[in-house]
Amino acid sequence: MPDLKNILPSQLMQGILGKLYEILTQGDATVPSSSDNFFSWCSPGIPITPDELRFLTQGLTGVMTDNSKKDEDGKPIPLSDDDKARLRASDTGKLYMQAENLSRLVDFVPDINAGTNGGLSRLSIHQNEGTLSDVYRYALQFSQVANTELTADEKAKIEKFKQLLQVKRKKKDLITDEETEVLEPSPLVVLYNQKMSAYTDAVVEYNNHRVNALAGNNSEAIHFWSLNADALRNKVKAALFDWETNGYKNEYEGIAARIDQIMSKDLSLLKADYKDALDKAKLTGLASGSDFYYTSLVPGDFVNGGWTTFTFKSADFSSHRDSQFTSYGASASAGFLGFNASGGFQHSDGSTNASFDASNFSLSFQMCQVPIVRPWLKTPFLTSKAWKLDAGNPEVQSRGEFLCDGAMPPKGILPGYPTAILFIRNLKMDFGQYNSQFHADFEKNSASGAAGWGPFTVNANYTHNDSHVNYQSHMDGQGIAVDGMQIIGFNCHMLPKSPNPLPNITSWI
């Protein structure tokens, strides 16, 4: 049993992530838990500024953001039309780079089998089979669907459902000026995700206070829960009601169910539409020259929305030190849970794990979980029972007939995919009398690129478009403070057995 007076950083981090995982995923009668979701933590966190996500609220059309020309008196010189066009084009290019960066950041398949404790696993990417978009494109390309014919009425219903879930928008190629159509989430889908995000915030706040009270080591937390539990439950119920009434929850999920029902009759037309949606979401990176698929976060202005405060004190350790969840493999390495140095935000062997006295340790930050929206990814197709991979195709023979076998832990080329990003900001850590020592260690380790502890980045230097960002911790009266925003993990969804065709289907196309 670890002793707080002589504890390893990895043991302390086990308790921190245990409490955080309980808040994010565990539930009770008011907030039921989900058995098919899990978290993968970054190692260390990924620093990000609000400006790097500006395209989420502005779109991909640039605006004039700079007028640096001044006369001798320091007054702005009016811009010519050419200058204005140049500034708008420059800003448009930055917005496209932002969209590409976010798309590539979340276009991965988590390697569940490389995980550790289901809640405390370090992010590991399924490298061998490509990205999420690669695997999805493979499924569309090499799949067979049930050979049936829909009636005219059923085809009309599918078209109606499609128009409810996505809208077409024209985009102009910056080089050729050609206009092409792209698909974006419809207002119904945007509202659905916005209200779902608000419901998630209420759930996280509810679980945060519930877990703090259950720990039984903080009288204020217990009093707060006793006095406000009903209000917190009502807040969750109100958020759910708002999601259902104003966020079209039942309608959206009903549409997905109806599409799935019709898909079991004839998937060929819908599969063609899904291929078309994937093609229309494809953009080309200006600098990379390679393709990516447009992806966004909802709400786009989450930085200005509701954030939940997470706290961990030494007294919490006894309640969360042995947090156990669904296991997928061996225990986490000290290099992840302990202090580490890394270059380019990739883990390296620069970790230290000396024991220290954590009797007066405390940690806090604000957190916000934001859903990922991919208008090109049609998960009803993946879970439909009216398709399979073509077993006679050499490509399928080499990669297997399943995206996911549905086992536990699941195996396959698509065992799961990220559905939300966990952002934090204003990280504060108080190591008591060891603050100066640990702050010096962080600064020393950051010489190789970035220094962090577990999923948290503490010191880092990185380039953002055309500017250099210095992401540094500093000492204050409350310990070590890390200002700014960073990504510390991804909420991922485990795919059920896929494909899982009905046994009575005998004819395939």
Cis? peptide before 409, omega within 30° of 0: yes
Helix ranges (DSSP H) in 53-186: 55-58, 81-106, 132-141, 152-165
**CB count, 10 Å around CB of 18?**
24
- The helix/strand/coil state of 320 is helix
**CB count, 10 Å around CB of 105?**
16
DSSP H or E run through 197: helix 187-215
Distance from C-alpha of 509 to C-alpha of 496, rounded to nearest angstrom:
23
pLDDT value for 348: 36
pLDDT value for 89: 82
Q: Any residues with CB less than 8 A from the CB of 105 and at least 6 apart, and which?
A: 46, 487
Is 489 within 8 Å of 20 (Cβ atoms)? no
- The helix/strand/coil state of 437 is helix
Distance from C-alpha of 364 to C-alpha of 263, rounded to nearest angstrom:
48
Closest CA to 488 of 51, 24, 54, 101: 24
Phi/psi of residue 200, nearest 5 degrees: -60, -40
- The helix/strand/coil state of 462 is strand
**CB count, 10 Å around CB of 479?**
21
Q: Which pLDDT tens digits describe the chain residue by residue (509 residues)?
A: 567 888 888 888 888 988 888 888 766 666 666 667 888 888 788 899 999 999 999 988 888 766 666 777 777 778 888 888 888 888 888 898 999 999 999 999 987 765 444 444 555 565 566 899 999 999 999 999 988 777 788 778 877 887 788 887 776 665 566 776 777 788 888 888 888 888 888 888 888 888 787 766 677 877 788 788 888 888 888 988 899 888 888 888 888 777 766 655 667 777 888 988 898 888 888 777 889 999 999 999 999 988 999 999 988 887 776 655 433 322 333 334 444 444 333 333 344 567 888 888 999 999 999 999 999 999 989 999 989 999 999 999 999 889 999 988 888 999 999 999 999 999 999 988 877 877 777 777 665 566 788 899 887 766 555 555 667 778 776 788 888 999 999 999 999 999 999 999 888 98
Amino acid at 109: V
pLDDT value for 374: 95
Strand-pair partners of 48: 485
155: exposed, middle or buried (C-beta count within 10 Å: 0-12, 13-18, 19+)?
A: middle
Q: What is the pTM of this model?
A: 0.76
Cis? peptide before 415, omega within 30° of 0: no
pLDDT value for 496: 93
Which residue is it, tokens 């229309």? Answer: 280
pLDDT value for 262: 67
Cis? peptide before 299, omega within 30° of 0: yes
Closest CA to 450 of 424, 480, 473: 473
pLDDT value for 325: 41
Distance from C-alpha of 266 to C-alpha of 31, rounded to nearest angstrom:
37
Q: Which two tokens stand for residue 129?
A: 């089979």
Q: Which two tokens stand for residue 194?
A: 């916005």
Distance from C-alpha of 241 to C-alpha of 444, rounded to nearest angstrom:
51
Distance from C-alpha of 386 to C-alpha of 20, rounded to nearest angstrom:
39
Domain-by-domain residue ranges, the chain?
9-29+37-46+96-494
Phi/psi of residue 73, nearest 5 degrees: -90, 5
**CB count, 10 Å around CB of 433?**
10
Distances (CA, A) of 248 to 189, 192, 265, 279, 468: 8, 6, 26, 27, 42
**Dihedral angle over CA of 137, 139, 140, 143, nearest 10:** 150
